[in-house]
Structure 1
Amino acid sequence: MSKTALIAMSGGVDSSVAAELMKEKGFSCIGCTMRLYENDMIGEDLFGTCCSKKDTDDARAVTEKIGIPYHIFHYEKEFIDNVIEPFVCSYERGETPNPCIRCNKYLKFDILYKKAKELDCEYIVTGHYARIEEKDGHFYLKKATDLNKDQSYVLYDLTEEQLSHTMFPLGEFTKTEARQIAENNEFVTSHKSDSQDICFVPDGDYASMIKRYRGNDYPGGDIVDKEGNVLGHHNGIINYTIGQRRGLGVPADRRLYVTRLDVENNRVVLSDNEDLFEKEVMVRDFHWITGKMPEGDIRCNAKIRYKHKEQPATVTLPKEEGGICRILFDEPQRAITAGQSAVLYDGDVVLGGGIITKSFS
């Protein structure tokens, strides 16, 4: 009797190929799409095109072609509560969050994971570029073979138990190879372009999305230098992020960058590029994939944003579970940003990660 897998299908090429690969391996597959918001929201340009009728039609067309059943599951409220609302609150605190991490944690590998169990599926499958390895009774999350597409960073919140019931068929493939498989099978998604932005902010204008969601504007305030001298005026702190240079509207005789968001005083602080470099990072809500915090300080590589190349560092662990971790990089890193995740690697194995809460010079 074949094993059963629930395939999370976005209507894109990667999840389409993941479904095909699982079918080729002999699994009994069920395709599904998570509906995260209603089409009338899309019509109002509130959340963009993910979950659009075109996406679900494409996913359905692929499942029909490979001969597996297809379902749409409605998780609109769960998406608002676990992804949208925390995303907006994070920006209001002067942070720059990565909502894909929360979507993976709370939607794909929690709510949908539980749905898979209800359907008696032994595995949940996604089109992520990452690998899972079982060794000595433990399950490890590893980088993808194609490092240019590696998505292990946004999966650090998974547990060993979840990994034991998860499969990433594209982990051993390059993007070019995945597209070739789609073309060979004549999938309607084979030439579909990859999404470059957060699904509910397709135009990249986070501030406008937040204003629409909240139904209000945010108060302006002073733009100052690091000595507190007023340089100009901002139109709401949510419009700025650490390391930003463009769109500041401040005349200067040199390039200035956002180095701090002073939410308490509603000020945006500008300084020189060298002031963006720091070695120390404080991380909250740290999650270890093994479920157990190591003993003593550890040496590893750490990554502070999705496109950041991980760098060697020493991690000082809290005295008790749930405390703040301290990451000290060997060399200063640029634009360490609260709200982003710091993820630890031992070679190509993900150890865990957490949310950057504060950094010090």
Structure 2
Amino acid sequence: MKKRVILGMSGGVDSSVSALLLKEAGYEVIGLFMKNWDEEDEYGVCTATEDAEDARRVASQLDIPFYTINFEKEYWNRVFTYFLDEYKQGRTPNPDVMCNQEIKFNAFLDYALKLEADYIAMGHYAQVEERDGKYYLLRGRDKNKDQSYFLSRIEQQALSKTIFPIGHLEKREVREMAEKNNLYTAKKKDSTGICFIGERDFDEFLDRYLLTKEGDIMDVEGNKLGKHTGLIHYTLGQRRGIGIGGIGTGEPWFVAGKNLKKNILYVAQGENHPALYSTSLIGESPSWILGEAPNMPLKCTAKFRYRQSDIPVMVDVLEDGNLHIKYDEPVKAVTPGQVAVLYKDEICLGGSIIKSIEPLEKKYEYLNDQKIITKFFISP
């Protein structure tokens, strides 16, 4: 009897080739499109509708059943409100990580099991390996496309039921397979950005849901340089869009910190300014792929944002359960709200949400005072 696999089909080439490979491997494949967001873009087009139709065409080509499931409520409650709450605290969240944790490998998995699925599958560039009854998350073979960073908060139950059909392939090979088999999505451009924002202006989108207030831009020495349009529009290390070019030495300015209480945006001039660097971080809400923390202190590598090169670190657990992650060398623009993901060679160990950073120089500790939250609102 064939094993049943419920595949998350996004309407892109990766999940399309995943469907092809699963069918060729002899599984009973059912395609399922997750509708997480319902909104038209600036041209009056709902991209979710287009993507669902593309997925349906591929399912028809491969002669597999296809359905759409609505997770809009779950997405709003578990991912989008988290996204807004993080911005209200002056942080820069990663909703893709939370979407994987709460929707794709939680709500989707629960639904698939009700359909008596043996496994779920996703078109991620990552791999699962079982060793002595434990399930390990490994990087995808294509290092440029590896998506293990976004999967760092997945738990054992989900991994034990998950197949990543293209995890062992390069993106080039995936495209070639799609073209060879004349799949409808073979030449479709990869999606970019956050699903509920898409190609639209990011700042404009935030302004619809969060109240912004103009405030002062100051350099890290306390000199007033201009006005910002609202702290939610800026992230640590940001260079473009600050609006103070031509001041000072002529070198570019970078966001160095935010003070929510005083509504001040701090900037530093020069890409190697010490105010942009930190030596360690505190990570909250740690999550471990194997379900328990490895032996501490732990020497490993980390990524503090997607596609960042591995950074050698030393990790320890604090009395409150948070992680202290100390870097071997100072690192630029480590951003609260992002995810610190830990690796041991090819194995993704897990990660934690970056709560705070320790600046390279003590005198810059004041730059990120996020203790008082200004008044924001959420539009229903």
TM-score (norm 2): 0.90
Cα 1:352–1:6 change in 2 (3 A) is: same
Q: Of the candidates 224, 234, 256, which is equivalent to residue 228 of structure 2?
A: 234
C-alpha distance in 1 between matches for 2:150 and 2:109: 17
Which stretch has the larger CA shift, 292-301 or 167-176?
A: 292-301
1:165-244 to 2 correspondences below 5 Å:
165-203=161-199, 205-214=201-210, 217-244=211-238
Tell whether 2:107 aligns with 1:88: no
Give the unaligned 5+ runs of structure 2.
Answer: 360-380
- In the TM superposition, residue 49 of structure 1 has moved relative to its aligned partner by 5.1
Judge which range, 251-260 or 301-310, deviates more: 251-260
Contact 1:221–1:236 (Cα < 8 Å) also in 2: yes
Cα separation, 2, equivalents of 1:162 and 1:29:
18
Matched residue SS, 1:34: strand
Q: Does 1:138 align with 2:134?
A: yes
Q: What is aligned with 1:6?
A: 6
State how 1:319-358 maps to structure 2 within 5 Å: 319=319, 323-358=321-356
Cα distance in 1 for partners of 2:256, 2:356 equals 13
**Structure 1 segments (4+ residues) deviating >6 Å:** none
Distance 1:49 1:304 in 2: 32
Whether 1:42 and 2:40 are equivalent positions in the alignment is: yes
Structure 1 residue 241, shift from structure 2 partner: 0.9
Following superposition, the deviation at residue 204 of structure 1 comes to: 5.5
- Please show how residues 149-168 of structure 1 align to structure 2 within 5 Å: 149-168=145-164
- Does the residue aligned with 1:183 lie in a helix, a strand or coil? helix
1:252 equivalent in structure 2:
247
Q: Deviations over 1:304-352 (max 9, x none)?
A: 00021111110011236xx210110101111000111000000010001
**Structure 1 Cα separation of the partners of residues 322 and 41 of structure 2:** 42
1:294 shift after superposition? 2.5
Counterparts of 1:278-317 in structure 2, within 5 Å, are: 278-317=278-317
Which shows bigger deviation, 292-301 or 341-350?
A: 292-301
What amino acid is aligned across from residue 241 of structure 1 in structure 2? T
Secondary structure at the residue paired with 1:6?
Answer: strand
Deviation string, structure 1 residues 244-267 (Cα, Å, up to 9, x no partner): 122222241232210101112111
Is residue 21–residue 169 contact of structure 1 (8 Å, CA) maintained in 2?
yes
Instruction: Tell me the distance in 2 between the aligned counterparts of 1:166 and 1:50.
Output: 27
Residues 124 and 199 (structure 1 numbering): CA distance in 2 closer, same or farther, change over 3 Å?
A: same
Task: Indicate the larger mover: 268-277 or 300-309.
Answer: 268-277
- Displacement of 1:96 after TM fit? 1.1
Letter in 2 for 1:253: G
Q: Distance in 2 between matches of 1:198 and 1:231?
A: 32
* CA distance, structure 2, for counterparts of residue 265 and residue 50 of structure 1: 39
SS at match of 1:339: coil
The whole-number CA distance in structure 2 between the counterparts of 1:220 and 1:311 is 36
Q: Is the 8 A contact 1:198 1:204 kept in 2?
A: no
C-alpha displacement at 1:291, in angstroms?
1.0
Name the stretch that deviates more: 278-287 or 226-235: 226-235
3-state SS of the aligned residue for 1:106?
Answer: helix
Assess if the C-alpha contact under 8 Å between 1:261 and 1:267 holds in 2.
yes
How far the C-alpha of 1:78 sits from its partner, in A, is: 1.0
Letter in structure 1 aligned against 2:222: G
Aligned counterparts of 2:21 and 2:29: Cα–Cα separation in 1: 10
Aligned-pair identity in percent equals 39
How far off its partner does 1:37 sit? 2.4
The C-alpha deviation readout for 1:100-136, integer Å capped at 9, x for no partner, is 1011111100000001100000111000000011112
Amino acid at match of 1:222: D
Alpha-carbon distance between aligned partners in 1 of 2:154 and 2:43, rounded to the nearest angstrom: 32
**Alignment CA distance shift 1:123-1:296 (3 Å):** same
- 2: CA distance between counterparts of 1:313 and 1:126? 30
Residue 197 of structure 1 contacts residue 204 of structure 1 at CA under 8 Å; is this kept in 2? no
Deviation digits for residues 29-69 of structure 1 (CA, Å, limit 9, x no counterpart): 1101011123xx215679x8541x22111101111111111
Distance 1:344-1:133 versus aligned 2 partners, 3 A rule: same
Whole-Å separation in 1 of the counterparts to 2:236 and 2:80: 21
Residue 262 of structure 1 corresponds to which residue in structure 2?
A: 259
Once residues 270 and 290 of structure 1 are traced to their aligned partners in structure 2, the CA distance between those partners, rounded to angstroms, is: 40
1:294 partner letter = P
After superposition, where does 1:11-160 map in structure 2 within 5 Å?
11-38=11-38, 41-43=39-41, 50-51=47-48, 53-160=49-156
The 3 A distance-change label for structure 1 pair 158 and 30 is same
Matched-pair contact (CA < 8 Å) for 2:41–2:47: no
Alpha-carbon separation, structure 2, partners of 1:204 and 1:271: 29
Query: Whole-Å Cα distance in 1 between the matches of residues 253 and 142 of structure 2?
Result: 36
Question: Which is further off, 311-320 or 120-129?
Answer: 311-320
Amino acid at match of 2:20: E
> 1:228: Cα distance to partner?
2.1
